[in-house]
Amino acid sequence: MRRLTPYLLALPGWMWLAIFLVVPMAAMASVSLQTGNAIDGYAMTFAVSNYTDALGRYSTQLVRSLLYGGLATVAMLLIGYPVAYWIAFKGGRRKSVYLFLLLLPFFVSFVLRTISWNFLLADNGILLGTLKGWGVLPADFHVLATTVAVVGGLAYNFLPFMILPIYVSLERVDPRVVEAAQDLYATRAAAFRQVVLPLSLPGVFAGVLMTFVPATADPINAAILGGTANTMIGNIIQTAYLTNLDYPTASALSFTLMAVLLVGIFLYARLLGTENVLEAAAR
């Protein structure tokens, strides 16, 4: 009985993951190779052409998603790193208060937050309408339905996921190490570049992963803030699945998206040197 305990404990959770995570992936793989139509049903024909067709038709949106996800990630890194740095080294006893304030958006639904930006940035809404009333902006100025709105929305929605891991890695840096560097006549900039920055790389690595993947695959920001000219791959997949009932195309696109993200993560890990990152993280 005692030897069975771990298996009994693990069984329900393990089965849930196997049946609803692994089996669906297999189902999706199978659907992505079928042909047919929504009315007569789909049959397996090992149609690899589904992939080439889908890519041919939607490469613009796929490239755009990677571009928007990448731009948003860079923006989050530039915006978030200084914040994480200041809280970790200068936050003092109020560290947890600052972190709590940064996490406030999580108490509002993702969808509602994005719609609030739609409110804020509406062509004649409280922000642009007021500025136009003062004559600061021309009457036809708009932010909604532009690249800036979508990338800004993505950066807004995922920023805490960039700040937190960087903060955690910076918090672990012993301030005495930085002092030692400065005692050895390193300038402040040099101490940062050669001591603090390398020690925070595991956090940067985790932050980039935690933001780039969901930002690239996100359909909500493009749908609510982007208009028709900024459609991302997430919107295409959603429409193909739910409106057009074109399951094979949608499945092929989902797999392509996942493959592209996995290859991206792999290359990125190689580029940054996972070993160095893991080593630094272990310390």
Partner 1 sequence: MTGTTRGTRLGDRLLHAWTWLVIVWLSSPIAVMILFGFNDKKSKSNTAWQGFTLRWYGELFDISDLTTALTNSLVVAVVSTVVTVVIGTMLGLALGRHRFRGKGATTFLVFAAISTPELVMGASLLSLFVSGNVPRGTVTIVVAHVLFSLSFVVVTVRARVVGLDPSLEEAARDLGATAWGTFRQVTLPSILPGVMAGAMLSFALSIDDYVVTSFVNGSTVTFPLWIVGAVKTGIPPQVNVMGTLIFGIGVLIAVGNAIAARRRT
The one among 111, 229, 267, 278 contacting partner 1 by CB under 8 A: 111
Q: Using alpha carbons, select from 164, 158, 145 the residue that is nearest to residue 71.
A: 158
The residue range among 54-62, 108-116, 135-143, 199-207 that interacts with partner 1, by the rule CB under 8 A, is 108-116
The reply to whether 90 sits near partner 1 by the rule CB under 8 A is yes
Name residues contacting partner 1, limited to 113-172 (CB under 8 A): 113, 115-120, 122, 124-126, 129, 156, 159-160
Mapping DSSP to helix (H, G, I), strand (E, B) and coil, where does residue 60 land? Answer: helix
The one among 66, 166, 170, 237 contacting partner 1 by CB under 8 A: 237
**Considering CB under 8 A, how many residues would be counted as binding partner 1?**
81
Name residues contacting partner 1, limited to 18-47 (CB under 8 A): 18, 20-25, 27-28, 30-31
Q: How many CB atoms lie within 10 A of CB 268?
A: 14
Mapping DSSP to helix (H, G, I), strand (E, B) and coil, where does residue 180 land? Answer: helix
The reply to whether 254 sits near partner 1 by the rule CB under 8 A is yes
Smallest distance, Å, CB 281 to partner 1?
15
Residue written as token pair 């997430």 = 234
* Alpha-carbon distances of 234 from 56, 106, 143, rounded to whole Å: 16, 22, 21
Side chain identity at residue 139, one-letter code: A
Q: How many CB atoms lie within 10 A of CB 36?
A: 15
The size of the chain, in residues, is 283
Is the distance from CB of 121 to CB of 128 less than 8 angstroms?
yes
Is the distance from CB of 34 to CB of 20 less than 8 angstroms?
no
The residue range among 134-142, 165-173, 196-204, 248-256 that interacts with partner 1, by the rule CB under 8 A, is 248-256
Side chain identity at residue 28, one-letter code: M
Query: Which are the contacts of 269, defined by CB distance < 8 A and separation ≥ 6?
Result: 205, 277
The reply to whether 217 sits near partner 1 by the rule CB under 8 A is yes
The residue range among 56-64, 82-90, 168-176, 200-208 that interacts with partner 1, by the rule CB under 8 A, is 82-90
Is the distance from CB of 178 to CB of 59 less than 8 angstroms?
no
The one among 98, 158, 167, 205 contacting partner 1 by CB under 8 A: 98
The residue range among 165-173, 198-206, 246-254, 268-276 that interacts with partner 1, by the rule CB under 8 A, is 246-254
Smallest distance, Å, CB 181 to partner 1?
14
Smallest distance, Å, CB 251 to partner 1?
6
The one among 54, 75, 87, 204 contacting partner 1 by CB under 8 A: 87
